[in-house]
Structure 1
Amino acid sequence: MNFRPSRIFLMMACTIVLSEQADAGEGVLRPWKDVQGRIIQAALVSATADSVILKMADGKEHQLALSRLCAEDQAFVKSQSAATAPAPTTAQGATPAVMAPSSSRLPIEKRTWPENVVVPTKSIEIQVVEENVAARNCVYRSEGFEFTSQAKLSGLVMKEVARTFEATKTLVSSLPWGVVCQPPEGFERYKAELFETRKDYIAAGGPENSGGVYMSGDKIFRVPFPSIGLKLLGKTYAKDENYDGGTLIHEITHQVMDAYLTFLPVWVIEGTAEYTEMLPYNAGKFRADAHQKGLKDHIQEMQKRDYAIEIGNLEEHLTMNRSTWSGIANTTNRKMGELYFRSVLAVYFFCHLDGDKKGTRFIKFMDAVYGETEALRTFFKDPRVKHFPDGRFSYPTSFPPPDMKPETAPFKHLDLLLDGRSYSQIAKEMTDAYKNIGVKISVN
């Protein structure tokens, strides 16, 4: 399959063709070229470190990930950060300035895969906000998370609970994927609800066959005490030293990557969470440099459960939409396990075995997705967007939001992973690359 070009850019190009005689307005039109060589005429309205808003000759504005532009145009956008952007006046009369690139995000060529990732001590210092035992409402805070527990927990126990959450956040932030972990809009911290029993957990919406779940609807991670290694000793809860927090790490990865989920294929969503879960972890420390050992241990465990080391039809898996995925995953737990296993095999290949073996294509893909998250954040902060108490929002037709459709949004940047290769070519490269590390995989 030849993947479709960026839908936003095509839509912009079509606008130019249809309105080349239109009034250019107050903006300064200039040619813009994307990474595939297509050229349009538009004016720069504003930019963040990873996205731009361009205004067409007919007055319509479109947001575009900065990574979709050619290197020369990316440099032009960044050069405007020191001065007022050549932007037209907005509907409110204010001219938005071009923002300087974030200093916290390293250029792709300077990113490296970490060795040991250790949670900072200050991250797990616990603040007691409320302890209402009668109401079963106890609230605790670590640096990045707020925990609402049905039972009172000692500072030491709560610190051990927070350790896995904060360590996972630190890991995801440290990987060269370039993920910026920040709580959802309107949240000071990520939120988690801790339930004493599985019955309480299920009553609060937790799936019956799950040990914990992140619900992107209300942005809350829900988990029962047994799934975080808490057991009742007498009248107090203690941490089980033999507890394995793998499932917890998986779901926390979803939580800290929440802003990305709209723009990622499901195989990347689940594959990245499986990747973090398979890394050797103990007491707040991830052995990120032992990723190959983690993968092989995971493969060995899956073989014990009689899973085949296969992805099958690569194109089918990488382009699977969410409804198809759900239809398969909801059939049986085994079918869900197969999808997860295939996904982590694909993610691992793109991170460590593909091309330069530094994950450059995957990192570029994740950077383009980051650009989409920034474009969406910029959109929702724009005064032209009106927010309603029930979560709905409205916007002028001349200022549409980034594409968020589940059928198209997750696949907009898949061409960065393909990099001009056919699926059959990548399947062969994947088979050979895995063979080189001693793993026989079936993929076509």
Structure 2
Amino acid sequence: MKPASRSLFIGGFFVFSLSAFAEDAALRPWKDAQGRIIQAAFVSATADSVTLRMADGKEHQVPLGRLSAEDQAFIKSQSADGKPPAAPATAQGASPEVSASAMERLPAEKRTWPENVVVPTKSIEIQIAEENPAARKCVYRSEGFEFTSQAKLAGSVMKEVARTFEATKTLVSSLPWGVVCRPPEGFERYQAALYETRKDYIDAGGPENSGGVYMSGDKVFRVPFPSIGLKLLGKTYAKDQNYDGGTLIHEITHQVMDAYLTFLPVWVIEGTAEYTEMLPYNAGKFRADAHQKGLKDHIQEMQKRGYAVEIGNLETHLTMNRATWSGITNVSNKKMGELYFRSVLAVYFFCHLDGDKKGTRFIKFMDAVYGETEALRTFFKDPRVKRFPDGRFSYPTNFPPPDMKSDSAPFKHLDLLLDGRGYSQIAKEMTEAYKAIGVKISVD
């Protein structure tokens, strides 16, 4: 059966034009940066996006940066004073967390890095959904997470566990990367499974050399009690006050960025998780403004473990595909640590030392990846796409999904980071930038 509509990409969004509808006088051709054209009517615009109404009456929001220069000029002309539409105003006195929640809609140049990121109190209020210790199944819920535990946990203990999860989600949402943290399709909350012993954890699929793992296949974060600071005192589990949740923060970052993982190089996936892990953190509060101290402390710790402050060949690292990465990390934990260390050094450079030192290039890169995630969401919401329990899906041959191939999709927007520069030039800039903050790094 041939579908009645045709589809195309504009800036990573699927939009639809149904030929069965009569023409509207307000319709005009819109062209994206790749030269693809649709017919739509202008509705409104903000500083970074435009809302278009299709012939069928449906409205779609498209990033301005993905439209042709001619279309951007047309949008500018729609303003009475001939200036681009202003960014939405932020309420006076709004906290950094509130302001950051809408950052994905601000132009990259207008975003700022937060200072202190504190988890909202309401986020860690615990609801008991089920408690059945005999069946080793107790289900607790915070605002954004659902925890399935093998043992009954007191509300105060569960609140302490949830604090790290919710704080990490708040942090990632607050950073100017523009990440929109939403649970995977079909889930009201992010899922976490808590196991009493490491044996239980490993039997459930957790890697033997890990303290916790996020599995993107079933969208579940798996972690044993010791890794979240739980210890048995008599017959009751209590929170260890000396517990360090660094590894947990790393994996939670993967979890809340799940929609982005398909479209990110592995060095960005691991580098961003290492970045959040290295930020000073205590009791639900991240010192995001202390990122340089966090970096230097991390470098000092890695040097103690025998790691050199180096990236090696920059092009090799930034363009490494997943098969090559897995081959290297499977050799030893030492090799894995090297790649993680190199990745956070690269991510930190692009976030704080590159160009205007505000991370503008990296933010634009992440915005382009956000566009890919939205395109994929739009694809799966289309009624012509059928999803199956095992993860497979089907679709009409003339309605293909966005590129999700691991050897191409993660590198589609890498040019936004390069910004016309060669790898050797960036390596030189990286060396000088790190030198300026007192760090000697080897990169070529």
Q: TM-score, normalised by structure 1?
A: 0.83
What is the Cα deviation at residue 388 of structure 1? 3.0
SS of alignment partner, residue 372 of structure 1: helix
Distance 1:200 1:438, change over 3 A: same
1:319-348 CA distances to partner (integer Å, 9 max, x unpaired)? 000000000011000000000000000000
3-state SS of 2:336 partner = helix
Question: One-letter code of the match for 1:431?
Answer: T
Which SS does the other structure have where 2:429 is aligned? Answer: helix
* Aligned equivalent of 1:207: 207
Taking a change above 3 Å as real, the CA distance of residues 423 and 387 of structure 1, as seen in their structure-2 partners, is same
Query: Aligned residue for 1:39?
Result: 35
- Distance (Å, rounded) in 1 between the aligned partners of 2:50 and 2:206: 36
Flag the 1:72–1:124 CA change in 2: closer, same or farther, 3 A.
Answer: farther
Aligned partner (choices 66, 69, 75) of residue 67 of structure 2? 69
Answering whether residue 232 of structure 2 is matched by residue 223 of structure 1, we say no
Kept in 2, the 8 Å contact 1:249–1:273? The answer is yes
For the Cα contact (< 8 Å) 2:28–2:41, is it kept in 1? no
Once residues 49 and 401 of structure 2 are traced to their aligned partners in structure 1, the CA distance between those partners, rounded to angstroms, is 16
Identify the residue that residue 16 of structure 2 maps to in structure 1: none
| Contact 1:51–1:64 (Cα < 8 Å) also in 2 | yes
Residues 216-268 of structure 1: CA deviation (Å, up to 9, x unaligned): 00000000000000000000000000000000000000000000000000000
- Decide whether the 8 Å contact of 2:104 with 2:177 is kept in 1: no
2-side partners of 1:213 and 1:79: how far apart? 51
Alpha-carbon contact 1:51-1:372 (below 8 Å) kept = no
- Partner residue, 2:82: none
Change (3 A) 1:384 1:46: farther
Structure 1: stretches of 5+ with no match in the other structure: 1-7, 11-22, 56-62, 81-101
Distance in 1 (CA, whole Å) between partners of 2:39 and 2:226 is 56
- After TM superposition, give the deviation of residue 43 of structure 1 in Å: 3.9
Q: What is the CA distance between 1:174 and its match in structure 2?
A: 0.2
What is the deviation of 1:393? 1.7
Following superposition, the deviation at residue 32 of structure 1 comes to: 1.8
Change (3 A) 1:316 1:257: same
User: Aligned with 2:407: secondary structure?
Assistant: coil
Aligned residues: 395
1:4-403 pair list within 5 angstroms: 30=29, 32-34=31-33, 39-43=35-39, 67-70=65-68, 73=71, 105-107=104-106, 108-403=108-403
Structure 1 residues 185-234: Cα deviation after superposition (integer angstroms, max 9, x where no partner): 00000000000000000000000000000000000000000000000000
Question: Structure 1's 120 and 241: CA in aligned 2 closer, same or farther, altered over 3 A?
Answer: same
Equivalent position amino acid for 2:128 in 1: V
Q: Give the direction of change, closer, same or farther, for the CA distance of 1:134–1:51 in structure 2 (3 Å limit).
A: farther
- For structure 1, which segment, 378-387 or 239-248, has the greater mean C-alpha deviation from structure 2 after superposition? 378-387
1:121-163 residue CA offsets vs partner (Å, 9 max, x unmatched): 0000000111101000000000000000000000000000000
Task: Give CA deviations for 1:11-34 in whole Å, capped at 9, x if unaligned.
Answer: xxxxxxxxxxxx999887736241
For residues 104 and 352 of structure 1, what CA distance do their matches in structure 2 show?
A: 17
CA distance in structure 2 between the aligned counterparts of 1:76 and 1:139, rounded to whole angstroms: 54
The answer as to whether partners of 2:103 and 2:111 remain within 8 angstroms in 1 is no
1:105 is paired with a residue whose SS is helix
CA deviations on 1:255-295 (whole Å, 9 max, x unpaired) are 00000000000000000000000000000000000000000
SS at match of 2:105: coil
CA distance in 2, matches of 1:226, 1:387: 37
Which structure 2 residue ranges, 5 or more long, are not aligned?
1-8, 12-18, 55-60, 79-100
Counterparts of 1:163 and 1:75 in 2: how far apart (Å)? 47
Question: Shift of the alpha carbon at 1:398?
Answer: 1.9
**Percent of counterpart pairs with the same letter?**
81
Mapped contact 1:67–1:368 kept (Cα < 8 A): no
The answer to whether the 8 A contact 2:181-2:257 is kept is yes
3-state SS of the aligned residue for 1:112? coil
My pick for the range that moved more, 308-317 or 392-401, is 392-401
Contact 1:64 1:372 in 2 (8 A): no
- Residues 279, 290 of structure 1: 8 Å contact kept: yes
Q: Which has the higher relative contact order, 1 or 2, with Cα contacts under 8 A spaced 6 or more apart?
A: 1
Aligned-pair CA distance for 1:111: 1.5
Which whole-Å deviations, capped at 9, do the CAs of 1:79-122 have from their partners, x for residues lacking one? Answer: 99xxxxxxxxxxxxxxxxxxxxx967331233110000000000
- How far apart are 1:298 and its partner, in Å? 0.2
Alpha-carbon distance in structure 1 between the residues aligned to 2:273 and 2:416: 21
Partner of 2:415: 415
| 1:433 counterpart residue number | 433
In 2, the alpha carbon distance for the partners of 1:53 and 1:261 equals: 29
- Distance, in Å, in 2 between the alignment partners of 1:247 and 1:412 is 29
Task: Give the residue type in structure 2 aligned to 1:69.
Answer: L
One-letter code aligned to 2:175: L
Conserved 8 A contact 2:231-2:240: yes
Task: State whether residues 67 and 367 of structure 1, in contact with CA within 8 Å, keep that contact through their aligned partners in structure 2.
Answer: no
- Quickly say closer, same or farther: Cα 1:384–1:244, change in 2 above 3 A: same
**437 and 279 in structure 1: CA distance in 2 versus 1, 3 angstrom threshold:** same
Cα pair 1:65 1:375 within 8 Å, conserved? no
Distance 2:283 2:344 in 1: 24
* Contact 2:354 2:433 survives alignment (8 Å): yes
The alpha carbon displacement at 1:65 in A equals 7.2
Partner of 2:223: helix, strand, or coil?
Answer: strand
Take 1:329 and 1:177, find their aligned partners in 2: how far apart are those partners? 27
| Greater mean alpha carbon deviation, residues 294-303 or residues 46-55 | 46-55
> CA contact under 8 A between 1:227 and 1:248: conserved in structure 2?
yes
What is the deviation of 1:383?
Answer: 1.4
Displacement of 1:71 in angstroms is: 5.5
Deviation digits for residues 29-60 of structure 1 (CA, Å, limit 9, x no counterpart): 736241xxx534444599999799999xxxxx
RMSD: 3.0
Query: CA 1:204 to 1:213, structure 2 compared with 1: closer, same or farther past 3 Å?
Result: same
Q: In structure 2, how many angstroms separate the alpha carbons of the residues matched to 1:388 and 1:296?
A: 47
